[in-house]
Amino acid sequence: MKTQVITPEEIKEILKRYCIGKKPLAKLLGWGETTIIRYLDGDIPSKEYSDKLILIKENPYTFYEILNQNKHYITQIAYQKSLRALYAYVISSKASVIVHYMKNQWEGLLPVEGFRCLLYFSQGFYLGMYGKLLFEGEYKITDGKIPYEELKDVILSDLIIPQELLNDRLSQREKDLLDGIVKAFRWYGYTTLYAIMIEENDGLRISRNKLNERIISYDTIEKHFQWIIKEYLVLKPEDVWKYIDSRFAETRKWKLLSTW
């Protein structure tokens, strides 16, 4: 099988995306100053160097780690300029905006799987209350039955996006819903969130998307959360606690009874 080698066009895309010069990028990567220039002029990079460039092209969080660790190799102006470009690129995705917003608001530790559960509840309550998607992203049925596996890198990243940038990309209604989710759910650990999510979803209809992947459709999630909203009197985002507190009590009682 032919080995993929990064092209000059892809290198130009990296420079533009992260607003970084050819020499500063080479310095960040620990290479000679003219390395990137030579690649743009037609020299073929080694597999090691090509793989490194492909990685930072495909994963902005890897570029952030390199930028932060090696910022002393470039000027402060170049660092700040590239960091601002990185922020803009990362939050060009609505799902990424939401993850970073919730991470900024969360108090304490929550495993990546727990944040994926939070995203499900956020999507569900927003669909149930307003009939619109909070973010694009299907509930794909994975082995662990936790959706949004594609957002693991975003959740795991140490990158902290300034709150004002996130606020500018969310409506007040979206922020109110996310704040309600965080305030209600941060009292509970991952085990509780996962147990409740799995119990809720075990009875939901599974369908197929265009790629023939098993999913729980948006329509199914919307109807289910419309029922939840009526059942638990979640009339506004501040009422989300009514649902999670009640479900915790119900689940805990059921777990205790099932051990007898």
Give 73-104 as a DSSP string: GS-HHHHHHHHHHHHHHHTTSHHHHHHHHHHH
pLDDT of the residue at 5: 92
Judged against a pLDDT cut of 60, whether residue 139 lies above it is answered with: yes
> Using 50, 70 and 90 to split pLDDT, how confident is the model at 140?
very high
Backbone angles phi, psi at 7, to 5 degrees: -100, 160
Judged against a pLDDT cut of 90, whether residue 67 lies above it is answered with: yes
CB 133 within 8 A of CB 142: no
The strand ranges marked E within 120-180 are 139-140
> Using 50, 70 and 90 to split pLDDT, how confident is the model at 256?
very low
pLDDT of the residue at 260: 38
Percent with pLDDT over 90 in the chain:
87
Percent with pLDDT over 70 in the chain:
96
Judged against a pLDDT cut of 80, whether residue 170 lies above it is answered with: yes
> Using 50, 70 and 90 to split pLDDT, how confident is the model at 258?
very low
Rounded to whole angstroms, how far apart are CA atoms 175 and 170? 6
Rounded to whole angstroms, how far apart are CA atoms 229 and 111? 27
Q: What is the mean pLDDT of residues 151-160?
A: 92
> Using 50, 70 and 90 to split pLDDT, how confident is the model at 1?
very low
Q: What is the mean pLDDT of residues 82-89?
A: 97
Judged against a pLDDT cut of 70, whether residue 253 lies above it is answered with: no
